[in-house]
Amino acid sequence: MDWTFLELAAGIALAAMTLRDVFDTVVVPGGSHASLHIARRLVFVLLPVWKRLRGRRRGLSTMFAPFALVASFAIWMGLLAIAFGLMVHAAGTSFTPHITSFGDAVFAAGSALVTIGQSSDTVRDGGRWVMLAAGFCGLGVMTMAVTYLLEVQSSIAHRDSGIFKLRTSAGEPPAAVALLEKFAAIGAVAELPRILRDGRDWCAAVRQSHTSHPSLIYFRTTGTGSGWPAALGALLDLALIVERWLDMPDLRGLAVLLREDGCRMGEEIGRLIALEPHASPPDPKAASGMARRLRAAGYRQQDGFDPEPFAKERETHCEWIRALAHHLGRPEPRLLPDD
């Protein structure tokens, strides 16, 4: 009797912990705060293995994030099968024929979880409630899985549409200098205010979605090798150039706001997945090269521009983006485009 009670209590506890983890990961913004942290632990375990298996090919493949996400739901369902299997085994005498082995108990519980059921079995007393609860939990988890996958696809599509637009004008990997040179070449400098506003909207949307559901961080943008960290770096470089170099005072306010939103986005996502900023020495030569290229493109420079303070200020937003890029195996942000 004591062993049956302990088995039932263990099953209830494991089921409660698993359901809490699913709920916190899928429904509650900010990721799982429960004790299991299945999705987060799975990513941390798989990430170094996946990178090692890819050998010299840097970065994550397009399969990593979907595989980790589907594997998380499979593990949750497996834990629920074990949890309800413990309960079924404890209530084995409520089944006809009696369930005596733990394997048969897990099979019966798993059948209820996937809503198949076993018509040949007769269940009475407490066993009925165990099977009913298993069916409801399985249906709930599968429903949340489908809903979550649709939400993931929507968030990724919104993020990647901004990256593709930036890639068209800023190159691959994107660079703020390339964007400004192209706008000058095609006579579209008047579009800079819209780019700064759209950049703020993109940062806010990606920050909200990726901090609410951290699995989105690892979804790779199809068709581009640089990924979303490089896009964020190009937007912040653009904002810094407009704020500190470009002689367009009416755009300074938009640039300041974009830098604040973008820096907050990079830091929050980095801290969410337990990263530390990657510092690097400032590069005044790149800042001087930027100034020469933009002057050649026809832009006016602010009075008193100094490459060294500019390079130091750029490094403050590159630290977190560099950490994210290295973590994902993506190239770090560049001020000057590849020639």
Q: Please tell me the distance from the alpha carbon of residue 316 to that of residue 337, in angstroms, as a whole number.
A: 20
What's the rounded mean pLDDT across residues 53-74? Answer: 75
Instruction: Quickly tell me which residue has 């099979």 as its tokens.
Output: 107
Residue 257, CB-side half-sphere exposure with 13 Å CA sphere: 15
What's the rounded mean pLDDT across residues 155-172? Answer: 88
Report yes or no: 134 and 80 within 8 Å, Cβ to Cβ: yes
Q: What is the pLDDT of residue 32?
A: 54
Give the least confident one: 89-93, 183-187, 205-209, 215-219: 89-93
Question: What confidence category does residue 196 fall into, taking pLDDT thresholds of 50, 70 and 90?
Answer: very high
Report yes or no: 42 and 215 within 8 Å, Cβ to Cβ: no
Question: What confidence category does residue 38 fall into, taking pLDDT thresholds of 50, 70 and 90?
Answer: confident
**Would you say residue 262 has pLDDT above 70?**
yes
Question: What confidence category does residue 56 fall into, taking pLDDT thresholds of 50, 70 and 90?
Answer: very low
Closest CA to 77 of 23, 141, 17: 141
Which of 53-67, 119-133, 145-159, 266-280 is modeled with the greatest confidence? 266-280
Percent of the chain scored above 70 by pLDDT?
93
Q: Please tell me the distance from the alpha carbon of residue 119 to that of residue 287, in angstroms, as a whole number.
A: 74
Report yes or no: 7 and 89 within 8 Å, Cβ to Cβ: yes
Q: Please tell me the distance from the alpha carbon of residue 224 to that of residue 138, in angstroms, as a whole number.
A: 38
Instruction: Quickly tell me which residue has 């770096």 as its tokens.
Output: 233
Q: Please tell me the distance from the alpha carbon of residue 210 to that of residue 274, in angstroms, as a whole number.
A: 14
Question: What confidence category does residue 285 fall into, taking pLDDT thresholds of 50, 70 and 90?
Answer: very high
What's the rounded mean pLDDT across residues 148-177? Answer: 88
Report yes or no: 96 and 121 within 8 Å, Cβ to Cβ: yes
pTM of the model: 0.81
Structure tokens at 287: 């800042």
Instruction: Give the tens place of pLDDT for each residue, 79-105.
Output: 999 999 999 888 877 887 788 888 888
Exposed, middle or buried, 26 (CB in 10 Å: 0-12/13-18/19+)? buried
Domain boundaries, the chain: 2-145, 171-328
Element (H, E) at 96: strand 95-96
Q: What is the Cα 311 distance to its own chain's centre? A: 29
Q: Please tell me the distance from the alpha carbon of residue 217 to that of residue 200, in angstroms, as a whole number.
A: 18
Strand partners, 146: none
Structure tokens at 174: 């994107």
* End-to-end Cα distance, the chain: 76
Which residues contact residue 219 at a Cβ distance below 8 angstroms, ignoring those fewer than 6 apart? 65, 66, 152, 156
**Would you say residue 243 has pLDDT above 90?**
yes
Q: Please tell me the distance from the alpha carbon of residue 19 to that of residue 32, in angstroms, as a whole number.
A: 11
Q: What is the pLDDT of residue 83?
A: 93
Give the chain's mean pLDDT: 86
Question: What confidence category does residue 180 fall into, taking pLDDT thresholds of 50, 70 and 90?
Answer: very high
